[in-house]
Amino acid sequence: MPYFSDAEGEWLVRTARKVLERFFTTGEITYFEPPTPRLGEPAGVFTTLKTYPSGALRGCIGYPEPVKPLYRALSEVSILAATDDPRFPPLSAEELDHIVIEVSALTPPKRLDVPKEELPNHIVVGRDGIILRHGPYSGLLLPQVAVEEGWSAEEFLKHVSLKAGLPPDAWRWPDTDIYTFQAEVFAETKPKGSVVRVM
């Protein structure tokens, strides 16, 4: 049963765009009061920006842990995704009309305490996202990434190891911790277009 309604998901995506529009106009971060109590509860959240119509990634940053009320975290990660993703140059105001916005609201991460060789059996592609932590290294992949890339659970683990800056088998190391989480994902069908539930 989804935790967030389609209307709440639409609010998240439309608000992310409003936050960015206001930021490019004023240079300031704006927090919009949420219409329902659930959107004010602490939750992890990621904002993903993709170029339209190619779907190429243009920025993605988030808070994996429920450290802030969702509506406040949303404003912050939306600006960070546009300006502070080290993989890309900062987004320009002119680009915003050619960007599709996707918002992922996360459940709290849970550590998988199982033998390493059994990890792939405990990850459901299309449901779970993964966080890998090893000493100072960490990597996170949202659940929709494995679906988009057509990865198996083991391939997913290899790629989250690489995302952390480690070898692809780092998920097998005894002192590596693996966490899973789920996400409700909402996205624009086109820039400023209708909002749909992705998962």
- With bands split at pLDDT 50, 70 and 90, how would you rate the model's confidence at 124? very high
> Phi-psi region for residue 126, left (φ > 0), alpha (ψ -120 to 50) or beta?
left
Cβ atoms of 188 and 100 within 8 Å: the answer is yes
- The single-letter code of the amino acid at 148 is E
* pLDDT over threshold 90, residue 1: no
Interatomic CA distance for residues 147 and 185, integer angstroms: 13
* Per-residue H/E/C for 24-81: HHHCCCCCCCCCCHHHHCECEEEEEEEECCCCCEEEEEEECCCCCEHHHHHHHHHHHH
* pLDDT over threshold 80, residue 191: yes
- Domain range 6-107+182-197, its CATH number among 3.20.190.10, 3.40.30.10, 3.30.700.20, 1.10.150.110: 3.30.700.20
* pLDDT over threshold 90, residue 2: no
Classify domain 110-181 at the CATH class level.
alpha beta
Q: What is the pLDDT of residue 163?
A: 96
Give the pTM. 0.93
> Domain residue spans in the chain?
6-107+182-197, 110-181
Interatomic CA distance for residues 165 and 186, integer angstroms: 28
- With bands split at pLDDT 50, 70 and 90, how would you rate the model's confidence at 83? very high
Would you give the DSSP letter of residue 108?
A: P
| Rounded percentage of the chain residues whose pLDDT exceeds 70 | 100
Average pLDDT of every residue of the chain:
97
* pLDDT over threshold 90, residue 94: yes
- With bands split at pLDDT 50, 70 and 90, how would you rate the model's confidence at 118? very high
Q: What is the pLDDT of residue 180?
A: 97
Q: Give the pLDDT confidence of 20-46 residue by residue, as tens digits.
A: 999 999 999 999 999 999 999 999 999
| Rounded percentage of the chain residues whose pLDDT exceeds 90 | 99
Cβ atoms of 71 and 47 within 8 Å: the answer is no
* pLDDT over threshold 90, residue 99: yes
DSSP 3-state assignment of 187? strand
- With bands split at pLDDT 50, 70 and 90, how would you rate the model's confidence at 66? very high
